[in-house]
Chain A
C-alpha cells in the first residue's frame, strides 16, 4: 500500500516539475519584461542615477525634487482633467452606440464593423491625422467645415482650455466603438422574453430600457468605468505628439513628464522612476477600488 502511494506521489511530483518547466519560458519573459522592471523602477526612484548606472542611494530626494517643480502639480492636475473629460465624453457614448446599433434590424453587422474600424488603426497615425483636422490654418479640416457655415477659423490646439477635451475627443473616436461592442455583448445576454413579457404588461419602450436593459449592464458598466479611468490616467503619447504638452504645459500628463525626465535629453532615470512610482501608487489605489467593486464576480472577469 505504502509503495503504491510512493509511486503516486513520485508521479505527481514529476508532473508538477514538468508543468513548471513548461511554464518556465513564459515566466522568465514575464519577469524580464513586466515584473522585474516594476520593482526596479521602485528601487531606481531611490537612487541618484547616471545613464544606466545607480550612483548612490539618496532616499526620497528624487520624489522631493520632482514634486517640488511647478510642472508636476500642473501635470497631476491635467491628468485628473483628462480623466474628468474622458468620463464626461467617453463613458456614456459607447452605451448609447450599443443601444442604437442593438435596435437596428438591417445592417446591424455593417454598423458594428464601421464603429469598430477606428480601433484597429495605429494610435500614432490617428493622432497625426487628427492634428491636421484641428490645425489652426485656414486649410485645417475643421476650419474648412466651419467656413462653409460662415464661421471664422479658430486656432484649437493653442487654446489652453480646449487641448485636453480635444485629445479626449480623439481618443474617444478611436475607442468608443470597441467599447460599444462589449456593451452589445452584455445586452445580447438579456433574454428577449423579458422584453416580450414587459411589453405584454404594457411597459413602454422607455420603461423597458430603464427597468430591464440598464440594470442588466450596470455591473459591466462599473468594470469598464474603472478600466477606463486606469487607462486614461496613463495617457502619454497623445499629448506628446499632438501638442508636446503645450500650450504652456496645459496638456502635459504625468506619464509624459516621466518620458521627459528619461528620454527628453537629460536621461534622468531616477527622477523618471519617481514619477512612474507616483503614477503606479495612484493606479494601485484605483485597482483596489476596482477589485472592491469586482469582488463578487468570478476570478476571471
Chain B
C-alpha cells in the first residue's frame, strides 16, 4: 500500500520531530471535534423526534425512552405532511427547469454570443448578485398580486429563472468552452439557438448539474416568497408549513421537532448523492453564501 504523504504546510520530514507528531495528533483531534459539532445537532433532533410531548418537555436525557417510529408516523399523517411534500416537489421541479433554461440562455448570451451592448447586461447581473431579493420582496409581492398570480406556483418557478448567480456560473463556464467547437457548429449551418442546444448544452453537463443541485436545495429551503404567494393551505410547501408552525405556534414542540426532521431528509439525501460535486464546486458558487 502506498503511504499517504503530508502535503500541506507540514511536510513529510517534519513528522520525524516529536512535537510535530503531537501537534498533528491535536489537529486530527480538532477535526474530529468539528465533525461531532457539525453532526450532533442532527443526531439530537432525530432522537428528540422519538419522544412524546411529555417526555420532550420534561426529560433531561438526550436518549429517548423508546425507539418506536410511531410518533413520526402519527405526526406525518395528523399534519398531512405528504401533501406538503408533494407541493414542495412541484415547486422544486418547475424551479429547476426555469433555473436551467432561462439562466442558461442569458448566460449563453453574455458568455458566448456577446451581441453589441451585452456589457450593460453583464454589469447589471453582477450588481444584482450583491443585492439579493429580500430587499425588494415587498414590491415584488405587489407585482405578483397585480398580475393576479397569487396562490400559484408559477411566480415561484419563474423567480428561479432570474438568478444572477446562476447566470454568472453559466456564463463563466460557457466562456471556458473552446471557441473552435462553437465556430464549427456555426459553419455547419446551425443558428444560434441550435448551437446552444446541439453543441453548448451537451458540453455543459457539469455546470448544469451544479446549478440543478443549488436550485433544488434553494427551492426546497425557500419560504419567504412562497409564504406570501402560496396563501392557500392546499398549496403550502414543507417549508411554508414549518414557517407557519413557528410563527403561529399551532403544533406541539415534539411534533415541531419531527417536522424539522421531515424538512431535512430530502436535502440530506441530496447531499449524500451529490457530495462530491458539492464539496468540489463550492469554489465559485459558494462566494455568495
Contact = CB atoms under 8 A, between A and B. Distances in A.
Given A103-B9, A139-B58, 6 more contacts: A102-B8, A103-B6, A120-B270, A122-B239, A240-B247, A269-B138
7 contacts: A26-B167, A104-B31, A117-B38, A224-B287, A237-B223, A269-B142, A283-B135
A22 B109 contact: yes
B253 to A, nearest CB: 7
Given A118-B38, A128-B260, A144-B61, A276 B135 contact: yes
B188 to A, nearest CB: 16
A300 B62 CA distance: 48
Nearest to B263: A125
Interface residues of B, number: 113
Contacts of A283: 130-131, 135
Given A105-B4, A106-B4, A199-B13, A34 B136 contact: yes
B164 A34 contact: yes
B193 interface: yes
Contact of B39 (A114, A137, A178): A114
A258 B133 CA distance: 13
Contact of B136 (A16, A25, A37, A300): A37
A156 B118 CA distance: 52
Given A29-B102, A109-B279, A124 B243 contact: yes
Contacts of A227: 287-288
Secondary structure class of chain B's binding surface, majority of residues: helix
A212 B10 CA distance: 12
A231 B289 contact: yes
A31 to B, nearest CB: 8
Secondary structure class of chain A's binding surface, majority of residues: helix
A178 B289 contact: yes
Nearest to A208: B9
A231 B105 CA distance: 28
Contact of B62 (A15, A18, A128, A141): A141
Interface residues of A, number: 105
B138 A258 contact: yes
Contact of A30 (B34, B125, B140, B145): B125
B211 interface: no
A40 interface: yes
Interface of A: 15-16, 18-20, 22-23, 25-27, 29-30, 32-38, 40-41, 44, 52, 97, 99-107, 109-125, 127-130, 132-133, 137-139, 141, 143-144, 147, 173, 175, 177-179, 181-182, 185, 192, 195-196, 199, 205, 208-209, 212-213, 223-224, 227, 230-231, 234, 236-237, 240-241, 255, 258, 262-263, 269, 272-273, 276, 279-280, 283, 287, 290, 299-300
Interface in B57-76: 57-62
B252 interface: no
B158 A20 contact: no
Contacts of A237: 223-224
